[in-house]
Structure 1
Amino acid sequence: MTIRSHLQEFHELPAFPFPDAADGPLDVTALPSPETVAWRVAVDSYESEESWPDAFARFLAAVDTEQVRALIVGAWNNAYDNGPAEVIEALVAARDRLPELRALFLADIVMEECEISWIIQGDVSPVLEAFPRLEEFGVRGGNQLCFPIVRHERLRRLTVETGGIPADVVRSVAGSDFPALVHLDLWLGTSEYGGSCELGDLEPLFAGTRLPALKHLALRNSEIQDAICSALSSAPVVARLDALDVSMGVLTDDGATALLSGQPLTHLKSLDLHHNYLSAELHARLQETLEPHGVDVRADQDDAYADEEEDGTVWRFVAVGE
């Protein structure tokens, strides 16, 4: 499976696509108030005659960017061949024009524009350095993604969506200094699409010695979901979480049983395991064990797909790969 729809909301604001140059002269009076939407700036990934920096320049000229709170970077030119270096350079150059920017999403790109595993990424740390008041940052695509160890005082929410995340990115995120981070969401993916994360790379997160404000931990879309759940069953970090998300991956009865048999989970407000390969019996056990304590358990199987060969081999798939 892959991603078919653009973000409809970001930073609790509705997404609004900034008009394409091909649509004709821009009527600035028809644009919403700058602070009321998450502005999406994009070009056609395949055939646009306008570059992303040029589209962004039109945005800067048309909108009172001193009031903009959220920005979504959509497709740039040939995202399957080119990384976002020019995009990041344009964003950094405009930092003084965006004093109220609190949320930035890099690469809101869907399958028709470029499959998630094909999106060429790069070093995204310059945007974190350029916007010290940023509270939310998201990035999609793990191919050539670089995330050096950084410190950011105000970041509260970090999302990395991939079909396969490089292990060094996981280690850098785990090693970064984010004293205000409340919500961490990592799509770990599979080795087939560039994922090289192993259980040991997640150990600093399990130990709970990093990210002192963390309340929502999502380690999902993983082919090692059972091993992750086994580790979480005794991980110190779980005791201080409000929400735990192990969804979208290859989760079977083994992983869910380990999670239920470990430390108490009844303090959680929510446990998300959707897109799984659980038996009906274990699904029921999860609900019977946790829901009476007020835990919102999501364990629906959605579009989880398994393929069994003639020799009995069963292939199970994460929610988002290619």
Structure 2
Amino acid sequence: MVMTGHFEEFAGLPLIDFTDPDQPWPTDVGAAAWWFPSDVPYDLYDDGEAEFPGIFERFLDTVDTAQVTSLAVGFWEPTSPVDELPAPIQVLTGAADRLPALRNLSLNASSDRALWELYCQDITPLFVSFPGLTCLEVRGHVVEPRPVSSTALRRLRFESGGLPAEQVRMVGAGDLPGLEHLDLWLGVADYGGDATVDDLAPILSGERFPALRHLGLENSETADETAAAVAGAPVVARLESLSLALGTLTDRGAEALLSGQPLTHLRRLDLHHHFLSDGMMERVRGALPGVEVNLDARQQGRDRLFVAVSE
């Protein structure tokens, strides 16, 4: 779920705003992804309360949550040390017995805050409380990240304007034997994106995630260096799709890709939002005739390189 504007679905399901009194609810509550945006009008409820714990309690009391498979939660983290409201992860794990079918979860799923401002608490309790969780998407960084262990998780995505190196290392140290789809928005140093190719080494080695079929190392201001590391990475041989999109890829990075291991086995190569020349774009397409290559959104006439989403 790329939260750069209006969105209408999550995990392939239509998104239902639980806080919108005018939005009709589906008959089958499990056929929708239930959204809790954080820009709720404070006059929405009679008692004037519009904080996540209270709203979610209403959800539990109103909807047959035993059938709910997918939740998208806006940015509801405490904003100060004196804020005594429980964080969303605490609220969710505290209600785990009432959400036995939960499989897909998106945290900080709102576009009303700058990306660099978003964070969430330790995510490891989610996999204890929801052992069947197959998809987790998080916008922003994780505070004091710890490696995740799950046999069920298939999709993991972190969107960030600057993904800290410790969070990248957290991912690489995870015990996720069933992980098939991994996306990391690496971001820029000005917003905390200090990960290097060395931090990516456990992922690129192919040893950690034997089921991985899609890898996205995106939104990176060091896209050329990432491309060079990917060009010789053992994990690439088992991938079906690869994305280095949204970043600062130039001819230098594309040359490294073309000079490295064959990429003709891929189904898709996503490089959109890039800084390639006409000639290099033609070379990439010509070298990968059977691959769906996305070279959209070329950035032209710029005096500096920039990622697609930093703030």
For the criterion TM > 0.5, the same-fold answer is: yes
In structure 1, which of residues 10, 35, 41 is the aligned counterpart of residue 36 of structure 2? Answer: 41
Structure 2 counterparts to residues 55-134 of structure 1, below 5 A: 55-76=55-76, 85-110=86-111, 113-134=112-133
In structure 1, which of residues 302, 307, 318 is the aligned counterpart of residue 307 of structure 2? Answer: 318
| Partner-residue secondary structure (3-state), 2:183 | strand
Aligned residues: 303
Name the structure 2 match of 1:312. none
| Partner-residue secondary structure (3-state), 1:123 | coil
Contact 2:35/2:71 (CA < 8 Å) preserved in 1?
yes
Superposed structure 1 runs of 4+ greater than 3 Å apart: 45-49, 77-85, 304-307
| Residue 47 of structure 1, CA deviation | 5.8
Separation in 2 of the partners of 1:120 and 1:151?
20
Name the structure 2 match of 1:311. none
Contact 1:75/1:107 (CA < 8 Å) preserved in 2?
yes
Structure 2 counterparts to residues 232-311 of structure 1, below 5 A: 232-291=230-289, 294-301=290-297, 304=299, 307-308=302-303
Of residues 114-123 and 200-209 in structure 1, the stretch that sits farther from structure 2 once superposed is 114-123
Separation in 2 of the partners of 1:246 and 1:129?
32
Contact 2:162/2:310 (CA < 8 Å) preserved in 1?
yes
| Partner-residue secondary structure (3-state), 2:307 | coil
| Residue 124 of structure 1, CA deviation | 1.8
Separation in 2 of the partners of 1:119 and 1:83?
19
Question: When the two structures are superposed, what TM-score results if normalisation uses the length of structure 1?
Answer: 0.88
Contact 1:182/1:215 (CA < 8 Å) preserved in 2?
yes
Contact 1:121/1:146 (CA < 8 Å) preserved in 2?
no
Could you tell me which runs of 5 or more consecutive residues in structure 2 were left unpaired when the two chains were aligned. 44-48
Q: Percent identical across equivalent pairs?
A: 43
Structure 2 counterparts to residues 129-168 of structure 1, below 5 A: 129-142=128-141, 145-168=143-166
CA RMSD of aligned residues (A): 2.3
| Partner-residue secondary structure (3-state), 1:203 | helix
Structure 2 counterparts to residues 11-22 of structure 1, below 5 A: 11-20=11-20
The change in CA–CA distance for 1:132 and 1:62 in structure 2 (over 3 A counts) is same
| Residue 46 of structure 1, CA deviation | 8.7
Contact 1:109/1:116 (CA < 8 Å) preserved in 2?
no
Higher relative contact order (CA 8 A, sep 6+): 1
The answer to whether residue 25 in structure 2 is matched with residue 31 in structure 1 is yes
Separation in 1 of the partners of 2:161 and 2:198?
19
Contact 1:208/1:237 (CA < 8 Å) preserved in 2?
yes
